[in-house]
Structure 1
Amino acid sequence: MRFNSLLWASIASLSLWMASPVHANSQVSRLMQEGQRLVEGGNYAQALAIYQQLLQSESRNPRLHSAIGYIYAQQGQFAEAARAYQRAIELDQQNADFYYALGYSLGMMGENDGAAAAYRQAIRLNNRNAQAYEGLAVILARMGDPQGAIQAYRAALRLAPRNWSAQKGLGVLLLQQRNIPEALSSLQQAAALAPGNASIQLNLGMALLAAGDPGNGWQAIDRAANLGQRDADLLQQVAELAAAANQPERAIQAYRRLITLQPERVATYFSFGELLMQQNNPLEAAAIYRQATQINPKDPEGFYRLGKALAAQGRQQEARSAYQVALKLYREQNNPTGETKVRDAMRQRH
């Protein structure tokens, strides 16, 4: 969804208002011009101070409250933004953009019921607003109503067929519903519209795999990994997908990128080490687990896994030392299940 392009009207409409004969050449007009200039320059705190000053004399102007909501939303203060838009709506209940903005702000707060109601009212007032349909689709999908979300995405695309984010959202939902042909069609259109989007490539790859086209599927997933090499969540998905599909080299490459990107993320070391153990590579697995113990020396799981990797190499004395540390830490954490796991491993012969 494109929040800025639609809600810049909150500021732009104030320009028309301040140019009216009532306000022309007035102190209010001067302050409005200064506020708009500051918003355009990204100086939100100063612009907000000016608009709040204007509220002393213009408290019943809905566009002013909307402009304040816009500034709060730009700064990620969505609760404050929602309150400002609610005040704007109290003063002008026929403005579809205010309801759209309220829906966006409530959605960002996780208040899905309120967001859905606001988007629906925005659509009632202006059924040509593709972004309102898309916003409603996002919320309905989040609320567990995939069919309603699919209908809303289709409505958005009838109005704006080149909206790549709506094409992607529709494709992902159709993929989740196992409607592979239509999912593939939507995701291919999204990829054509936004070829540099890593998430689209990842979902396109999964759709191609589901359609029985592994060659093109893995090519798309490889493109996703290259495009999203700074996106830890996406790389985690690639690694898990490749590991589950018995594509160890791809998974290993993704895990290496993840460790470079987030070297303090211990869970990645555990997943990577487990994959290496499955690939009968306990030597490198031990090195990975040892790094995990250095990052978090209070986590017994790292020492337990290190012991397993060392024991698999026949390095029993080193393995026993690692197990003893794990046992001590589990005992300190009052974790009898962990203690039992370690003792069982210590009794095993490798």
Structure 2
Amino acid sequence: MNPNLSDWDDDLPPEPEEAYQDLLRALRRKSGFGLFFVQCTPVEADNLIIKLPQEIPQKKIAVLRFVEAIDNLYQPVAESVKDKQVDILLIKGLEYSLYKYEKRSFGEITEGQFSNLISVPHILNHLNQQRERFRDDFPISFVFLLRSFSINYFIHRAPDFFDWRSGVFELPTAPEVVEQESTRLLLEGDYEEYLKLSSEQKIEKVIEIQDLLTEKDQPESRKAGLLVEQGNLLDAAKEYEAAITSYNQALKFQPDYYQAWNNQGKALRNLGRYEEALASFEQALKFQPDDYIVLNNKGIELWNLRRYEEALASYNEAVQIKPDDPQAWYNRGITLWDLERYEEALASYNEAVQIKPDYQEAWHNQGNTLGKLERYEEALASYVRTVTIQPDKHEAWHGKGFALGQLGCDEEALTAFNEALKIKPDYHQAWYNRGHALSNLGRNEEAIASYDQALKIKPDYHYAWYYKGAALIKLGRWKEGNKSINKAIEINPDFVKNIFNIQNKQIITSLLQKLGFQKLVQIAISFLRIIEFRG
């Protein structure tokens, strides 16, 4: 017989009960100052807090819980044990002080990259510096209930403190706790809620998931779900590459997991990898061909690739499956606009706002479409509805001003443009159209100042150069006006084909007549006809 075979189980982790009994014996024996580190999940820590006083009734046990980061442990300990007889102090939640330092490779099931840290977390620096005070002032056993990553921080970043340890105990997670915690994380999974979490809270959840993924009692079917949740958390943190890695790992366990294909596609989209994203959505549809959400996502990707007819077909499928999905109707409207099918686009936006009356994006695009169709009264109503829902939407205030200008309400238009500029002072189009409103009101000096603001933001905006020139000419500043108009033509030579329209003829002839240059009027008209003919 091979003698080494008798030691085959030496490297196996201890059974939960065996590790727990080792901890009990150590705590019973220890008197005075001691440092114990217990690796366990938060749920197991709570169970331990309940069980230990029952198991060691001869010892006075106190509990110190933290639910947020701290930089100083000495003071809370001093307050916790003041005027009390305490033999053992259980400390839970110290990991909250470490989450912001965690630099792990999120897409991999690995330990945290604590060794790459360039600074020591404040709480650990505090423990390193204050260890003698803890020993001298607190003749008690400290029991730190920590996750594995937290203990690694102590080992690598608080070695002075950790070297005084009286014991390190790893409590393996019981199978029922693995199932319970995994189920909780899967049921709590909500992308919208993930977006609201702080960076530290996202890291906390990722670490929870990674701990559970490494458990030996974790079935592969549940690993896939946990990996998708991890991917969703990483996506919410804008860690798109890591999210894709997580979704890929989920698909290795469960290749037909269509939600993983769909979410992978969205992460690829966020990286601008549209062809790969489209391929992911198509994979999802192989396993779930009637999922309207995936069809909508496929349509978005086809739109990103400017394959508008195919995008429209995908949106049509989505709304056929779920007619009350406002997002698909809205996206359908955008695609129809790009296909210059404006009446159909308008109908699609109408469907979206009927389903979701506070859908400000759809109201805004409805206004744009009505403006394109020159239905300015209706466009104005849509923009008013938009800014009622979202008062800080500068584009809608600008649209409202434009519609009012087209309806001849220049004073009201000016007010709307001013509102847009309060929200977004560098909005060059609002400065430009504000100039139009002022010019129409005969306030040409102010109009020129407004065009100048547009040109500060966008120096090559030929429209602003041209209309600034027109305003200068109205003030009799011919040389400056001509220079400004020439600048517009220099920026966009094709612009000359459009500037001599009937409206401009009327402006020029009216100015010349007022100045008494009747002969020049006839020459100018002839000259304009020649240019018009050649254009």
TM-score, with length taken from structure 2:
0.47
Does the 8 Å contact 1:63/1:88 carry over to 2? Answer: yes
Report what 2:355 is aligned to.
193
Tell me the alpha carbon deviations over residues 176-235 of structure 1, each in whole angstroms, 9 at most, x when there is no partner. Answer: 334344333322221211222222223333444566754434322332344343123444
**Structure with the greater alpha carbon radius of gyration:** 2
1:157 equivalent in alignment to 2:319: yes
Report what 2:439 is aligned to.
277
TM-aligned CA distance change 1:291 to 1:112, over 3 Å: closer
One of 391, 415, 422 as aligned partner of 1:253: 415
TM-aligned CA distance change 1:246 to 1:69, over 3 Å: farther
The answer for unaligned runs of 5 or more in structure 2 is 1-173, 484-489, 492-514, 516-535
- 267-276 vs 86-95, greater mean Cα deviation: 267-276
Report what 2:203 is aligned to.
45
Report what 2:225 is aligned to.
63
Listed as ranges, the matches of 1:8-87 within 5 Å are 23-26=175-178, 29-30=180-181, 33=184, 42=197, 43-57=201-215, 61-87=223-249
Does the 8 Å contact 1:31/1:50 carry over to 2? Answer: no
Does the 8 Å contact 2:186/2:229 carry over to 1? Answer: no
Listed as ranges, the matches of 1:80-229 within 5 Å are 80-208=242-370, 213-229=375-391
TM-aligned CA distance change 1:218 to 1:264, over 3 Å: closer
Q: 2-side partners of 1:247 and 1:199: how far apart?
A: 25
Per-residue deviation at 1:104? 1.5
User: What amino acid is the match of 1:45?
Assistant: I
User: What amino acid is the match of 1:121?
Assistant: Q
TM-aligned CA distance change 1:247 to 1:131, over 3 Å: farther
Does the 8 Å contact 2:308/2:338 carry over to 1? Answer: no
Q: 2-side partners of 1:267 and 1:219: how far apart?
A: 21
Does the 8 Å contact 2:315/2:332 carry over to 1? Answer: yes
Q: 1-side partners of 2:285 and 2:267: how far apart?
A: 16
Listed as ranges, the matches of 1:235-254 within 5 Å are 235-239=397-401, 248=410, 251-254=413-416
Does the 8 Å contact 1:199/1:234 carry over to 2? Answer: no
The answer for unaligned runs of 5 or more in structure 1 is 1-21, 324-336, 339-349
TM-aligned CA distance change 1:140 to 1:160, over 3 Å: same
Report what 1:345 is aligned to.
none
TM-aligned CA distance change 1:144 to 1:314, over 3 Å: same
Task: Report which of the two has the higher share of helix.
Answer: 1
- 102-111 vs 51-60, greater mean Cα deviation: 51-60
Does the 8 Å contact 1:85/1:101 carry over to 2? Answer: yes
Listed as ranges, the matches of 1:303-318 within 5 Å are none
- 188-197 vs 49-58, greater mean Cα deviation: 49-58
Q: 2-side partners of 1:34 and 1:176: how far apart?
A: 42
Tell me the alpha carbon deviations over residues 39-68 of structure 1, each in whole angstroms, 9 at most, x when there is no partner. Answer: 768432210122223343479622221111
TM-score, with length taken from structure 1:
0.68
Task: Report which of the two has the higher share of strand.
Answer: 2
Does the 8 Å contact 2:319/2:329 carry over to 1? Answer: yes
User: What amino acid is the match of 1:123?
Assistant: L
Q: Find the residue that maps to 2:214 and give its secondary structure.
A: helix
Q: Find the residue that maps to 1:97 and give its secondary structure.
A: helix
Q: Find the residue that maps to 2:248 and give its secondary structure.
A: helix
TM-aligned CA distance change 1:280 to 1:78, over 3 Å: farther
Does the 8 Å contact 2:411/2:437 carry over to 1? Answer: no
Q: 2-side partners of 1:162 and 1:79: how far apart?
A: 33
TM-aligned CA distance change 1:73 to 1:233, over 3 Å: farther
Q: 2-side partners of 1:85 and 1:68: how far apart?
A: 8
Q: 2-side partners of 1:206 and 1:34: how far apart?
A: 44
TM-aligned CA distance change 1:286 to 1:175, over 3 Å: closer
Does the 8 Å contact 1:35/1:47 carry over to 2? Answer: no
Per-residue deviation at 1:292? 7.7
Does the 8 Å contact 1:174/1:183 carry over to 2? Answer: yes
User: What amino acid is the match of 2:353?
Assistant: A
Per-residue deviation at 1:170? 1.5
Does the 8 Å contact 1:123/1:132 carry over to 2? Answer: yes
Tell me the alpha carbon deviations over residues 244-290 of structure 1, each in whole angstroms, 9 at most, x when there is no partner. Answer: 78764564333211111123556643553355336532243356468
Does the 8 Å contact 2:299/2:311 carry over to 1? Answer: yes
Q: Find the residue that maps to 1:230 and give its secondary structure.
A: coil
- 93-102 vs 209-218, greater mean Cα deviation: 209-218
Q: 1-side partners of 2:331 and 2:188: how far apart?
A: 35
Q: Which has the higher contact order (CA 8 A, sep 6+)?
A: 2
Q: Find the residue that maps to 1:24 and give its secondary structure.
A: helix
User: What amino acid is the match of 2:447?
Assistant: A
Q: 1-side partners of 2:336 and 2:402: how far apart?
A: 21
Does the 8 Å contact 2:376/2:406 carry over to 1? Answer: no
User: What amino acid is the match of 1:80?
Assistant: A
User: What amino acid is the match of 2:207?
Assistant: A
